[in-house]
Amino acid sequence: MTLHLTNLGLIPADSAVPDAAGHFGAFGGRFVPEALVAALDELAAAYAAARTDPTFLAELDHLARTYTGRPTPITEVPRFAAAGDVPGRIVLKREDLNHTGSHKINNVLGQALLTVRMGKRRVIAETGAGQHGVATATAAALLGLDCVVYMGLEDTRRQALNVARMKLLGAEVIPVTSGSQTLKDAINEAMRDWVTNVADTHYLLGTVAGPHPFPQMVRDFHRVIGVEARAQLLEEFDRLPDAVAACVGGGSNAIGIFHAFLDDAEVALHGYEAGGDGVATGRHAATITGGSVGVLHGTRSFLLQDDEGQTIESHSISAGLDYPGVGPEHAYLAQVGRAHYHPITDAEAMDAFGLLSRTEGIIPAIETAHALAGALQLGRTLGPDALILVNCSGRGDKDVATAARWFGIELGEGV
């Protein structure tokens, strides 16, 4: 089977949401300092031209096939399903097999090519788990761009391996010491850099949040995940799935796999948020489940906030989901009832992490483990004929130290 981004990857121009100003129903939009409006307009115009430009699409397609390794396969995981007491079938979309280890590279290559088209020489990025930072550093190395990655100090400790990877790739990693020293503060710092250096710098935002056009553009670059998976399921299983499961922090991998199924009314869409210690404890990152509507980082969506609009710090074992906001299209899909969002605790995620590793020989990212845990919960409620598609959004190499601590495996002690 041959899949081509050029004819399958991007959204048709008549997509109903967002509107021209980036609104997904009551969500989205653009809440930014005036100084950034010109840059966002420039970006929106550049993207609008690129998404229908055969030259741009051919370049992106070429990189996706020869550099990223697309299309990624789908893999059925019967031992995982059986061990998890799921009577039906579970199939993984293997974004973990992409170059750099997660779905993040899809968006990064698209935006990096746009950066070159806009004549800018420098990219900046935020990162939580480090996957987006690594992907951005990779694309910058590939295209000869200067690269600065902002990462919360707390996250540089949790994800030391990815810090080293970014440095090996030639990027400068700046630890962010303000606020909670995690992803949210890294975004603040990246925005401050961007407003100061916007003339020669593109902010390569890593998720489907932020001001318009980021939620739309990042979604479009990840849409290939669902487009491929849908075609692969039809070819190998001769049917659509009953449900699609994905983890949701900012929500880029989830939007990427959901989008191709939006018009398939019989396919349920489930997003799994980071429940941390449990939503009832207040120590979580389950924004849609436990948050309220507000504006953060340039967009209106659900967020974790107090009664006076101060952002509440999120908590999750997964650095990549440890974010108090969520992309506005997810807020929209939740509000209109097309997708459903549920919390998965740290413990539930780590159980699924261990189970997939032992039963299938696939060590997932801890972020991804939230989707896997959700798929097990969902699968137990469905019959033996059920088919669940899970976005295996990333691999767990970066999480080995965290997982070893969790499971009591001592590092550096021999056997």
Partner 1 sequence: MSTLHEAFARARREGRAALIGYLPSGFPSQAEGIALATAMVEAGVDIVEVGLPYSDPLMDGPVIQAAVHQALTGGSSLANVLATVEAVAATGAPTLVMSYWNPIERVGVGSFAARLARAGGVGVITPDLPPDEADAWLEATTSAGLDRVFLVAPSSTDARIGAVAGATTGFVYAASTMGVTGARAAVGAGARELVARVRAVTDLPVAVGLGVSTGEQAAQVAGYADGVIVGSAFIQRILDAPDHAAALVAVRALAGELAAGVRAGSPAVTR
| 198 forms part of the interface with partner 1 (CB under 8 A) | yes
> How far apart are CB 204 and partner 1 at their closest, in Å?
17
- Exactly one of 265, 310, 411, 412 binds partner 1 (CB under 8 A); that residue is 310
| 102 forms part of the interface with partner 1 (CB under 8 A) | no
Cβ atoms of residues 317 and 348 within 8 Å = no
Q: Which of 227, 295, 268 is nearest to 379 (CA)?
A: 268
As beta bridge partners, residue 124 has 148, 203
Name the E strands within 172-230: 172-176, 201-203
- Exactly one of 131, 188, 232, 253 binds partner 1 (CB under 8 A); that residue is 188
| 25 forms part of the interface with partner 1 (CB under 8 A) | no
> How far apart are CB 82 and partner 1 at their closest, in Å?
46
| 21 forms part of the interface with partner 1 (CB under 8 A) | yes
Cβ atoms of residues 271 and 249 within 8 Å = no
Contacts of 164 (CB under 8 A, 6+ apart): none
- Exactly one of 3, 10, 17, 39 binds partner 1 (CB under 8 A); that residue is 39
| 195 forms part of the interface with partner 1 (CB under 8 A) | yes
| 33 forms part of the interface with partner 1 (CB under 8 A) | yes
Query: Of the two residues 7 and 196, which places its CB atom closer to partner 1 in the complex?
Result: 196
As beta bridge partners, residue 172 has 148
Active site residue 357: no
Q: Mapping DSSP to helix (H, G, I), strand (E, B) and coil, where does residue 176 land?
A: strand
The encoded tokens of residue 177 equal: 């010491």
Q: Mapping DSSP to helix (H, G, I), strand (E, B) and coil, where does residue 9 land?
A: coil
Active site residue 393: yes
| 209 forms part of the interface with partner 1 (CB under 8 A) | no
What gap in Å lies between CA 336 and CA 247, rounded to an integer?
A: 19
Which region, judged by CB under 8 A, interacts with partner 1, from 49-57, 156-164, 235-243, 300-308?
Answer: 300-308
* Of 59, 95, 126, 360, catalytic: 126
Q: What is the dihedral of CA 330, 334, 340, 343, to 10 degrees?
A: 70
Active site residue 292: no
| 206 forms part of the interface with partner 1 (CB under 8 A) | no
Q: Mapping DSSP to helix (H, G, I), strand (E, B) and coil, where does residue 26 land?
A: coil
Q: Which of 196, 184, 191, 122 is nearest to 153 (CA)?
A: 184
- Exactly one of 43, 296, 321, 403 binds partner 1 (CB under 8 A); that residue is 296
| 406 forms part of the interface with partner 1 (CB under 8 A) | no
The encoded tokens of residue 170 equal: 């030639």
Q: Are strands 23-24 and 27-28 parallel, antiparallel or unpaired?
A: antiparallel
Chain centre to alpha carbon of residue 99: 15
Contacts of 260 (CB under 8 A, 6+ apart): 223, 226, 227, 229, 230
Query: Of the two residues 52 and 196, which places its CB atom closer to partner 1 in the complex?
Result: 196
For residues 80-111, one letter each, b for 16 or more C-beta atoms within 10 angstroms of the residue's C-beta and e for the rest, the string is bbeebebebbbbbbbbbbbbbbbbbbbbbbbb
- Exactly one of 81, 140, 191, 388 binds partner 1 (CB under 8 A); that residue is 191
| 184 forms part of the interface with partner 1 (CB under 8 A) | yes
| 38 forms part of the interface with partner 1 (CB under 8 A) | yes
| 295 forms part of the interface with partner 1 (CB under 8 A) | yes
> How far apart are CB 138 and partner 1 at their closest, in Å?
27
- Size of residue set near partner 1 by CB under 8 A: 35
* Of 59, 95, 102, 104, catalytic: 104
Q: Which of 84, 143, 82, 154 is nearest to 109 (CA)?
A: 143
- Exactly one of 26, 35, 400, 404 binds partner 1 (CB under 8 A); that residue is 35
- Exactly one of 192, 239, 358, 405 binds partner 1 (CB under 8 A); that residue is 192
Residue with tokens 């019967």: 78
Which region, judged by CB under 8 A, interacts with partner 1, from 7-15, 107-115, 264-272, 288-296?
Answer: 288-296
| 30 forms part of the interface with partner 1 (CB under 8 A) | yes
> How far apart are CB 29 and partner 1 at their closest, in Å?
5
Catalog residues that contact partner 1 under the rule CB under 8 A: 21, 29-35, 37-39, 178-179, 184-185, 187-188, 191-192, 195-199, 294-298, 305, 307-311
Catalytically active residues are 104, 126, 393
